[in-house]
Copies of this chain bind each other. A is one copy, B any other.
């Protein structure tokens, strides 16, 4: 028997199954640098050790999305190598700060399976957790993917569909230990707008666009040790339904997060992802734009320095977001991503006002 793996097929998954993923990984300042330069990240807490220290942290932490992609990447060879599509995310929580130099590994539990009526694919629901070198959980999320069956004739399993929360409740968001935004320097951060300046329902066009190059998304995806073939193998992809390599959906997430700095500069941390959908695949040459809407606000109990905004960010390709194109309302051929998440943001409104260093 060959020792090379073709990955798991739908028949290989059953509810309750536990998977310990390869490969352990130390995330270094080198990884942070590459991640930042691939997307143009500018959030100051992750950009500057000195700024992070002025917020009570020991150094600039690893960007939440970088951590997410590193953990996600570990699950790919076991969960989604034969996936037709990433269908959605839910209950993604960032549980503890992650620092350059930490070593991460990941485990998953299969929490649902459901064969599709076509008999050739099925949906697999998995809860994945990332751990650091102390085995502390740093991140947990659910995703579901459509996976090919190895053999169309194999019988359908009893369907199990997990009950998933629509949103992560605001009072379950984790504020990083020792974080103190009372001295947050708005001038250095690039915007005077804090938690108290945003209104529920407010929409923001983030204006700027960023064009994706083939080398960029490949380097980014390999940075996460994500092995999904659709992103790397141009020959194989010629016979796919896209006819070409497609961009890892997480790359579009990162570009949207980076572009959202212009309007959400003080959205310092992603605390949770409530849900997300890759509405259409992206490819090299696409130019990504995005807009955001404030869906909700959560006052963190006992804190005047930090609050949480629930934000929806929609990313498009090749068309400006000045008109706030909404895939929930209309045809959405140009929409790439519809993401619902919580960010932690400093409060400047009342006692927490922080103009200084």
> Chain A residues in contact with chain B, CB under 8 A?
2-6, 20-26, 28-34, 36-40, 42-44, 47-51, 60, 77, 101, 103, 105, 133, 187-191, 193, 197-198, 204-211, 213-216, 218-220, 222-223, 225, 227, 229, 232-236, 245, 262-265, 285, 287, 318-319
- Is B37 in contact with A223, judged by CB distance below 8 angstroms? yes
- Is A40 in contact with B222, judged by CB distance below 8 angstroms? yes
CB A98 to nearest CB in B, in angstroms, measures 13
- Is A190 in contact with B30, judged by CB distance below 8 angstroms? no
Sample of 23 A–B contacts (CB below 8 Å)? A3-B263, A5-B262, A20-B187, A22-B191, A24-B188, A26-B47, A28-B32, A29-B29, A30-B31, A33-B223, A34-B37, A36-B225, A38-B219, A39-B222, A40-B222, A40-B225, A42-B227, A208-B232, A209-B236, A213-B213, A214-B215, A234-B287, A235-B319
A69 to B111 CA separation, bound complex (whole angstroms): 45
A20 to B191 CA separation, bound complex (whole angstroms): 11
CB A277 to nearest CB in B, in angstroms, measures 23
CB A265 to nearest CB in B, in angstroms, measures 7
A287 to B244 CA separation, bound complex (whole angstroms): 13
- Is A204 in contact with B48, judged by CB distance below 8 angstroms? no
Cβ of A216: which chain B residues have Cβ within 8 Å of it? 215, 218-219
Taking a contact as CB atoms closer than 8 A, the residue among B60, B77, B210, B235 that contacts A318 in the complex is B235
- Is B50 in contact with A205, judged by CB distance below 8 angstroms? no
Cβ of A50: which chain B residues have Cβ within 8 Å of it? 24, 26, 103, 133
Q: A23-B47, A189-B22 are known contacts. Are A287 and B233 too (CB-CB below 8 A)? A: yes
Name the CB-closest residue of B to A103.
B50
